[in-house]
Structure 1
């Protein structure tokens, strides 16, 4: 390849179009070509980097020390500028197939970098953005430090632990000397308690307490803990779930190392998730709750734009959705239902895999001893369903909502219904069984639901015939990938002639296949990724396939979310279709790889359940 072709190659890659003619020629003259085998390590951890790599053909993975894939690089992409600038390789780069790259010596790259202001601004700005979780460039989304940051990377306040009986005066004196905002107390049973600055203001000063009183009198219990090596985003989820402003941080030896507060997360999270959680908790009427619920879409868009993985977004939004549903239930439910019923969410909402507000899938389980008039119950269930519609949760087209008497029953009536679903199967009953198995308690007495699931396992027993027919549903759905790796479109669907139904052709197959195996092995987990992990622990899946399947599932959901956000912004109808022509080369290849993995899952299920003989 001559120099002109190399220059043309470089100019097509952002930001190298900003190079001057002389600089492009200088780069081109110093490029070399390397041929790399499949699974060849190009650059290892802690290694001093020597080259900037431009991929001509192939795929390269960037992995951290836990072998987690942080990013993928494909044709006409480069790596790793950060390592070259810092002269240190934090991660490992390895090929996933035979790969051909141009290599540019580090000294050439650094020299031109400092000579070209546009280039220098791009790379140093990118590093800053990555460190602050604000990078927006599509190909670097999986590198966002927002997702790889650990709790210890945030500002963790030192732990000041005093005896429970310490006087209020001495406690304040110690806080001032140690310059920490939070105090931990240990009682005689070695239980921990917490005291914050607001406790001193609201409990000591306003109540005119004596400074000689025990500071333990104004303390709070029920602390939640997080490991310093856990992901910072998991700490955010924990705070959101429990409505907390602080978590106690431990190290690997279970020693307390400090306190993580909400303010310390602000540099990593630019969304208002915690404030929304507080708005939900503080809402005193339905209108205030509605206002809080309207912020969720903004959070989804913000997190997605920052490159947060779909699995984490869905966890967070699911926590907030459940807070809304629980709060609404306790606001408007008749007194007879409180403590004597269970509001459940089912389907994708139950599995914590629903991100945007789609159809309601909910039901109400009544304790067999619950005494409530039929008319009063019907009034409440209709009001609850309609209020959720007002909040932006559309009614279910299949009428799977607690306003439908079919989905509002006593526990005994649900047991009879489950027995009927299993012993007199039909397509509709299999669907009902599937969405019910995915049910999760959103409010009320969780034990009512747990008892029904145990009843479900008991009725299914060891009927291999039942599991075979339940799993066979996936055979009605084809993965839209041809023999020669070309996408296969539904010629009968004129409206979506050149589009792929990513749910039917991929997501549903994974959900139903994993659900069938989970039901057979009586797993209580409802989330698909968690089910995959438990099935792997039981040696149903190999660790390698488990990782592949999880990644494929996440990728398909990412494409679906990306497509839906784009459709919302352009006022189009949200659906499950994507246009592969709108994907770049790497995205198309990843989509094909994901479909191949799902085909592999189908073969595993065909063999396990002997589906060819059903």
Structure 2
């Protein structure tokens, strides 16, 4: 019988001396090789497992990871109460466990109510988590477009008289008509007909062809309703056509979407689009926090929140640009964002990360003056200046396309650390306002860099290894005053590693999750590692967001208070950091960084 069992660890510190003796007498030790199964799904649970060394994973029948157990963690509590294990438990590495027979475990629970309450509370938390996961499946975000969501799609010719079109709509209960034109299908809404007749005075005999709007925005039957909402938000429209096998089968209206999704995100997009002053735009920006908190509180998956918030942030920046930059100048410059904004991964407001590309002949002084005012407005909206000075109001981030291209050429030739840092920042650039063709030319220059300057990519990749993974030698979470820097230790290695791999492969995928998917498809990353990294990346952002929303809502706050995490969250955080550790090893091999 082991003599060094830790009775100071909860809940064993609740046991009386005679109960401790009973436990000590019954306790045994189990040894498991890497890959060995401790419990199969559906099997009777013979004992309470208490981790002493190694790592054990809990997975469902579909392979989904539910938890990871290491030093002094306990399992399978749920199976001990229900009689059988719901999931499978397998050793990830050589593992040693203490094992308390089920009969003795139940005797101790029956004799010591405080000891029993510990396990019952843990079980209640697991049930609550399971219920929440089930509810998430019913949320709007996972609802797919179905036929019952659709309004009729009625196609008419362009020469149909206005009066006949209005009567057809009324008789068929349609909200809009699809108009066949030489250029393709356009759409005429009920509002279009009313304005044409009552405001513009068009006669009933007037053909509806000139009233049609195009091109028609389309989604597919079975797509997520969320995707349709994103499309409506981006294009500032209220209807999309729904296709099946390339044929239009109906129209989806905004009201149908909002009836299932009440966060009013589309209303916020309209407020941004209609803002006529910076004050109105600032008021709209202030509601973003509420939207994010609502979505997060309802259990909406983080990748969907990021897509929506990114779309709204882009529209906010574009509208501010339109309010400040004269119309005659907008086609001669392009505003780009970088960092989390450029990757469409920003949630709460973080530092400004932007730049301006100028067309030839655009005075640099004028561009800097415009961007100085732009930066001041963003500051008043709650976006603080970038400590590293990555802002279009600085000369090094506001210059002509030719100057940007010269910089890339110089980086290819010299490859000094400062140049390579700027290159990695530019790799996340995304256009949000102005002449986007200027950005396309810059992007082509980035692609050419890989062809001519690939020798420097090893130096760029090395940055992903500069921060230690916050795990102890035994694989436990490594904290400093109960806090863990999840950005340096978890988020940054994934973001930067995917960024440099995407640069090397010439991928134009935007964002870390999209890059992981593309790298997996190309075979650059092992499928299992890529999937684990995607889940870990979302987890890191989710844990950070929850604590930020509960605090001062500062998007720059990176540290996690590990004491505020549940056991399940700590298990998943530890699993995610192990995935990061494997990814860093893969990067070291691919870029020959082992000896650095």
Band of TM-score, shorter chain: 0.7 to 0.9
The aligned counterpart of 1:566 is: 550
**Residue 242 (structure 1) aligned to one of 235, 238, 252:** 235
3-state SS of 2:334 partner = strand
The aligned counterpart of 1:212 is: 205
3-state SS of 2:355 partner = strand
**Does the alignment pair 1:201 with 2:194?**
yes
3-state SS of 1:158 partner = coil
CA contact (8 A) 1:71 1:143 kept: no
**Does the alignment pair 1:601 with 2:583?**
yes
CA contact (8 A) 2:409 2:449 kept: yes
The aligned counterpart of 2:329 is: 337
The aligned counterpart of 2:473 is: 483
**Residue 217 (structure 2) aligned to one of 224, 228, 232:** 224
CA contact (8 A) 1:525 1:531 kept: yes
Once the two structures are TM-superposed, the CA of residue 193 in structure 1 deviates from its matched residue by 1.5
CA contact (8 A) 2:310 2:346 kept: yes
The aligned counterpart of 2:558 is: 576
How many Å separate the matches in 2 of 1:224 and 1:77? Answer: 49
Once the two structures are TM-superposed, the CA of residue 40 in structure 1 deviates from its matched residue by 6.4
1:154–1:481 Cα change, 3 Å: farther
Structure of greater relative contact order (alpha carbons < 8 Å, 6+ residues apart)? 2
The aligned counterpart of 1:393 is: 383
CA contact (8 A) 1:147 1:233 kept: yes
Q: Structure 2-normalised TM-score? A: 0.78
The aligned counterpart of 1:371 is: 362
The aligned counterpart of 1:357 is: 349
How many Å separate the matches in 2 of 1:236 and 1:136? Answer: 28
**Residue 587 (structure 1) aligned to one of 562, 566, 569:** 569
**Residue 266 (structure 1) aligned to one of 258, 264, 279:** 258
Q: Cα RMSD over matched residues?
A: 3.2
The aligned counterpart of 1:296 is: 288
How many Å separate the matches in 2 of 1:145 and 1:71? Answer: 21
3-state SS of 2:89 partner = coil
Once the two structures are TM-superposed, the CA of residue 375 in structure 1 deviates from its matched residue by 4.3
How many Å separate the matches in 1 of 2:351 and 2:411? Answer: 23
Alpha-carbon deviations, 1:372-392, whole Å to 9, x = none? Answer: 3x5433321211110111111
Once the two structures are TM-superposed, the CA of residue 464 in structure 1 deviates from its matched residue by 4.8
How many Å separate the matches in 2 of 1:567 and 1:438? Answer: 29
1:75–1:211 Cα change, 3 Å: farther
Once the two structures are TM-superposed, the CA of residue 506 in structure 1 deviates from its matched residue by 0.5
Once the two structures are TM-superposed, the CA of residue 398 in structure 1 deviates from its matched residue by 1.2
**Residue 516 (structure 1) aligned to one of 500, 503, 508:** 500
Alpha-carbon deviations, 1:251-295, whole Å to 9, x = none? Answer: 2x1221111111001232111111111111112222222222222
1:443–1:506 Cα change, 3 Å: same
Alpha-carbon deviations, 1:320-363, whole Å to 9, x = none? Answer: 11111111112211455321111000111100111111100001
How many Å separate the matches in 2 of 1:255 and 1:313? Answer: 30
What is the number of equivalent residue pairs in this alignment? 509
CA contact (8 A) 1:39 1:94 kept: no
Once the two structures are TM-superposed, the CA of residue 557 in structure 1 deviates from its matched residue by 1.1
1:396–1:62 Cα change, 3 Å: farther
The aligned counterpart of 2:149 is: 155
Once the two structures are TM-superposed, the CA of residue 190 in structure 1 deviates from its matched residue by 7.5
**Residue 500 (structure 1) aligned to one of 475, 480, 484:** 484
Once the two structures are TM-superposed, the CA of residue 225 in structure 1 deviates from its matched residue by 0.5
How many Å separate the matches in 2 of 1:579 and 1:445? Answer: 44
**Residue 450 (structure 1) aligned to one of 437, 440, 443:** 440
| Paired residues for 1:31-70 under 5 Å | 59-61=58-60
The aligned counterpart of 1:403 is: 393
CA contact (8 A) 1:228 1:250 kept: yes
How many Å separate the matches in 1 of 2:426 and 2:448? Answer: 15
How many Å separate the matches in 2 of 1:446 and 1:244? Answer: 22
CA contact (8 A) 1:381 1:403 kept: yes
Once the two structures are TM-superposed, the CA of residue 151 in structure 1 deviates from its matched residue by 1.3
**Does the alignment pair 1:551 with 2:541?**
no
1:597–1:527 Cα change, 3 Å: same
CA contact (8 A) 1:343 1:365 kept: yes
1:158–1:59 Cα change, 3 Å: farther
3-state SS of 2:552 partner = helix
**Does the alignment pair 1:305 with 2:305?**
no
More displaced, 193-202 or 357-366?
193-202
The aligned counterpart of 1:116 is: none
Alpha-carbon deviations, 1:484-541, whole Å to 9, x = none? Answer: 2211124xxxxxx211000000100001111111111122223111111221222112
CA contact (8 A) 2:421 2:460 kept: no
How many Å separate the matches in 1 of 2:38 and 2:179? Answer: 56
1:583–1:398 Cα change, 3 Å: same
1:573–1:410 Cα change, 3 Å: closer
Unaligned runs of 5+ in 1: 1-35, 44-52, 79-92, 103-129, 491-496
Unaligned runs of 5+ in 2: 1-35, 50-56, 69-74, 80-84, 92-98, 103-127
3-state SS of 1:349 partner = helix
Once the two structures are TM-superposed, the CA of residue 552 in structure 1 deviates from its matched residue by 1.2
Alpha-carbon deviations, 1:143-174, whole Å to 9, x = none? Answer: 34222210117621122222222222222222
Q: Structure 1-normalised TM-score? A: 0.76
1:287–1:171 Cα change, 3 Å: same
| Paired residues for 1:134-149 under 5 Å | 142-149=136-143
**Does the alignment pair 1:192 with 2:185?**
yes
